[in-house]
Structure 1
């Protein structure tokens, strides 16, 4: 199919783009077009006007600040993947970008477009929530707003962005001096939509203990789910949960809209059969999924838990405990058991990588746990 008729505008600056969005409530912004154009061709989107911001000056820059990067909305996925400044200051973001589609898609897709599209199975929204990024938006009516990433994503393909607002910049905190990071996702093939994924930021103490962790999951609910916040591993602290995620899922399902129904099961129709096939073949995905989420006695956050495998260094037992707690009661799709197994496996591997990458510590890889199988 071909797109329905539309008007086309290519503004010369941000102010002109904002005026176009104010004047036409049915206008849609296009930059890379990797999501909007297919939707238009299928007549799932029928904008009255396409506002092409691909040529706006300045929004394709990456600016280094004291403790963060300020990234323009028009920065391409390929730039996030390969830019040395991104790799040095926010390596989790660079790693997440490598999992987006294929090189042709990464060469066209933009940061702002991915965030505004808000696919719950997308890598960059997960990275932004985990990194506690701030998304800056502008409009004629409301001026400039700064929205925390954890509040920006509302539900399936829905954000806090008004119809007349435009994503302009994203401020991403830089990796801290005692922080490590991990990112892992499961997909049928590299470049396919994720079945489940996890990202972790972990802070360690000089003696090798875990001081805190921030973790989030993708493709397991209606938006990126923050399942652990800073201080989660602090002595005596309860696990940061996701108490409202089940409610979000119920709300979406109960709404009965085609989008809610489709999104709730999107990408999972064949996961049970896929898992059976993988298990029969003995693939790492099946083995990891089957072992994820195994309950282990004791509470995460206690001194005993932080002792890991008994050598005074956190290890696989701690990662398994955390993954089990953080994936309990996930708002799962068609196959709750498989979703939880995959999410748990992704979390365990991301936690192991985060600890391994924390400065000055041997990490789980040195103790025989392969973090990137």
Structure 2
């Protein structure tokens, strides 16, 4: 089994550039007309303030580009036959599925996906690396499955987790829903902006560029604004920005519990935000004391590699369907699990 995580960031390479190494999470897609697009963290070098179009489905070019990059990185060169599972935000899932009674990808999107991945030409390692080809075919008798993200997370919860409110928090989205007796309460789905919303507040507070803000958020440090560019702590500003974002949006998520308070006594936090100690600390402070708050790390859920990384909760849930290629095409990160069919 192979796990892949790469930034959902793209940049078109200039026609003439000095040879340079690519970061390990990055690949260059080579189109038939010679256009080369780097996907992954190396794209920040060429397009530092850019970003992906949020959302999308297999019929969209920008979405196909990210799928192609993830498959190239996860499968490598050669001929591959795969069964596929995808994720979608709850508000977009019906642009994927054939109808409300199935999790199968619709025919138009399946055809678009199959056409997009049948031949993927790419470079890795450096900007002048040899062009490789990854040819991919979908297993004919296995429809492509689509789970929305909170639905995928519920599939990896331990048996004793019967009723709870789940927060799936990534960079772009913070999604929630209630689960009662292991059944999703569909009317309780909510979605607000994820950690990127708190980062935007930090950007406004510190007056930094988007790239510098992301660095400041991750490291808890910022340049002091002098010519010497001395680095100073911004942990206090990060905490303040996190708290501002949380207090702004938490009420609408918790209000989904109306009528279910007697059944739900816990909040389970999943997603990449679990690794952000400052954000989680501020979130736990704001959640009412009558709700026990745990993260997936606290639950110590095991997967094939040991303890489950909360960043991979969604894609592990997809992989539990028995597919050989589970892919979460996130707004900030692409995550995939690839196993031999």
Give the TM-score category using the shorter length: under 0.3
The higher relative CO (CA closer than 8 Å, separation ≥ 6) is in 2
- Per residue, is there more strand in 1 or in 2? 2
TM-score between both structures, scaled by the size of structure 2 = 0.27
TM-score between both structures, scaled by the size of structure 1 = 0.25
